[in-house]
Every structure is written in C-alpha cells, then in structure tokens.
Amino acid sequence: MAGTVILACPTLGVELKEAMKEENSKAVVYFMPPGLHRDPKALHHYVQNAVDHFYNIDRIVVCTTGCGGGNIGIKATTAPLIYPKTRDCLDILLSGDSLKDLKRDMMGVFLTEGWMEFMKESDIDFDKLKQKMGETKARMYLMKLYSVIHDFYIIDTGCYDIEPVKEYIIPLVRLVEGELHIVPGHYGVLRKMAREQFDDDFFTVPVGETVKSDSFPSNF
C-alpha cells in the first residue's frame, strides 16, 4: 500500500518541494492545474474526481483548504482526507509552528513568486490592462479596484528571489499610493505535511464522510 498523497496548488510549488527535500519525505505530490481557485465549482469537481480515482493509499492531504468554499462537500471515498485548518494558500505560506499564532492583514494583497506568476496571467495584470484599454483607463480601473487596499506584502519564504516580485508589484503600489511590506513566511504547515505531523493544525475526514461547511476558519 502506498503511503501519503498530497494534492497541492501550484502557487505552493517552490515551498512544498523545499519542505519535502528538507524532511526527506516519501509522499507523492500532485500539483493541480493553475487557476482553479478562481472557480469554486471547478475546484470542487477537480478535487473530488482526483480523490475518487486514487487507489490503495493511506491518506490524501489536500492543500487547497478554504479557497472560496470549493472544498465544502468533498467526500472521502478512497482514503481519509487531511486538510490544514487554513483559509487559503496564503495562510499556509505565512504559517509557523502553530496556526494559533498566525497573524494576517485580511485587507492586504500578498504575493510570492508563485502568486506573482498567477497574477501575471490574470485579467487584472497591469500590463495586460494597458494593452487592452490603454494606460489611462487601466490606471483608473486599478485605482477603483484597489480603492480600499493600501498595503501590499511580499511573503519572503527564503525559497526564491524577492527582487523580481518587488519590481513587478511596485508600479501598482505606487499607482494606488499604497505601501509595500516584506514579511517572513515559514510555511510551517507544509513542513508538517512533509514530515506527516498531522497535529491540531489539521483535521481529518474519515472515509464515507464529507468536508463540513464550518471546517475552515472564516476570513475575518
């Protein structure tokens, strides 16, 4: 029987690979297609289909967590499911020894190298908007979009060079007259996954049961 399978968002790729290397983990990792968290229904369908098609394994660890409610109702059909008690991937990256100590500005915009790549492909990328509607309209659109957001954070996990991320986001920060902060990200949850230390930062869904609506913390 195989041991542990991890289903992960590609925005966690660099940090998860580093955690697996540090802990000499034997778990098998499957990275999901990028952008699934844009559509909770698509995320739900993908995760449930993946869970249904595993065979002869001990457990499935799912990293997509709260993510717009897409995991609510997922049924453990082939093995117990293990989820971190997090709102999204950003909580995972910001986590330390315990999620009880996690502090996060819920009105801030957070980036890593992985999230930068996702943002570049999104419809609100500054360069894409300028090409689509011209610089003046792009500026006006983004100023309205970010009207209540003033703080931007780069999560420095030590797994990538933060300078390209700074270069990417600074034009937007300046446009909306915001502030850029660098914060540490110890990705403690990923380290625990790699060493299979499923403590109070996780919950388990036994075979035959489903993920409940109150399984993940709220955004506020």
Please answer whether residues 146 and 138 qualify as being in contact, where contact means their C-beta atoms are separated by less than 8 angstroms.
Answer: no
pLDDT for position 220: 46
| DSSP reduced 3-state for 191 | helix
* H or E segment to which residue 81 belongs: strand 81-84
What does the DSSP assignment read for 29-56? Answer: EEEPPTTGGG-HHHHHHHHHHHHHT--S
Say if domain 2-97+187-205 classifies as CATH 3.90.1640.
Answer: no
Mean pLDDT on 24-33:
93
Tokens found for residue 135: 């610089």
Tokens found for residue 21: 């290397």
Its pTM stands at: 0.90
pLDDT for position 62: 95
pLDDT for position 190: 97
d(CA 92, CA 70): 17
The string of pLDDT tens digits covering residues 56-112 is 999 999 988 877 788 999 999 999 999 999 998 899 999 999 999 998 998 999 999
The set of residues, in sequence order, having a beta carbon less than 8 Å from that of 144 and lying 6+ positions away, is: none
The string of pLDDT tens digits covering residues 129-182 is 999 999 999 999 999 999 999 999 999 999 999 999 999 999 999 999 999 999
CB atoms within 10 A of CB 134: 11
- Per DSSP bridges, beta strands 179-184 and 151-156 are parallel
Q: Tokens 């109150």 sit at which residue?
A: 214
Please answer whether residues 87 and 63 qualify as being in contact, where contact means their C-beta atoms are separated by less than 8 angstroms.
Answer: no
The set of residues, in sequence order, having a beta carbon less than 8 Å from that of 51 and lying 6+ positions away, is: 7, 60, 62, 74, 75, 76, 77, 78, 79, 81
Domain range summary for the chain, segments of one domain joined by +: 2-97+187-205, 103-184
Say what percent of the chain tops pLDDT 90: 79
